[in-house]
Structure 1
């Protein structure tokens, strides 16, 4: 009986302890659940963060590899473009050099040939020398013509003066002014007065201004039937003046021949 009582008392105590413990467990269950949930969330967060960091690292590696590949491809493309541009520039420079050499050769040979230009300049010098000689001959002809005309003017002036001074000719009774006894030979004016015959002056209308032989004054009297000296007859061929030669060479030679014939006639 005593043992039964002990067992019943122990059972009661066990029930009380179980009840208290269950109540404490129920009281601590929510707190422990929140703690467990927090621990689980932290652990899972650590796992997820580790996994995400792992994925991030792998993504960085993939991106690094891809970006390196794309960058190398772009660089290769840029190098190819730069190399192509460099080759094109080199080819263009070589083409320009070849064109320059060829054009220089073509111009020197066919357009501005040195030897052809030298021959042309030599021919030009020869033509210039011939033209200079021809012009000198024409100038000499014109000078002779001017001298001839000047001589004709002087002789006509002398003849006119002789006509004006014909009354001073020497005679048997009067020796005259120009025929001085102190001279060994008669004066030139005296000889001219002997050649010229006296004629009464006749008034004529004035001649045209375009005439080459109109050297006397229109107001002066003209003497008809006067003695014409030989130098006036010889200078009648000087009426036609030689003009400048034309461009063609044949006509120049003809003009020069005419001028020479004129000079020959004038000299005769």
Structure 2
């Protein structure tokens, strides 16, 4: 009995099938409503963006027409947008007729007394004196006070260099300087007894002097020209 009662109680009050089904149906209806509202909001935003783009393009087109107002046709000469070979003029021609040319902007010169009038009740800034005339040139006379003569100051500034004995003396000793000079003199005045004549027949009849390390005569070796193997009869094996 308790088992059946617990089953009935759970199905009735805890896991009610019909209540859950009704809850899911309400959620699906709510989802449909939210989706439709989001769709309407998206369409409204897209339409607003398109309207802003159209307004921006129209504004740029009007500004371009005002800027190119000099291309408007006259009574004597037709403009580039009003060709005589066309049946109807270009829409840009009508826009040029309905627009006004751009006026030159003048730079606004700020009055020096404007901020004084603006700050007059509070007096936050002191009034300034407006001077339209330039300042007079500065006199090149000697200023009043205990100052030196300009000529004396310039002489002290540009006087020649007077180095001390330590700065003027050489770092190396006179003996080292004499040795260096002697080495340079020997290298410069070096005389060779044997004259070098590479392109003459002076050395043609000279006899070749063999070197100490070579005992044989200076002749062309036959190895590699007449044979490619060294012949050593003393190492041959005699036949019995």
Q: What TM-score range do you get, normalising by the shorter chain?
A: 0.3 to 0.5
Structure label with greater radius of gyration: 1
Structure showing greater relative contact order (alpha-carbon pairs closer than 8 Å, 6 or more residues apart): 1
Q: TM-score, normalised by structure 1?
A: 0.37
More helix by share: 1
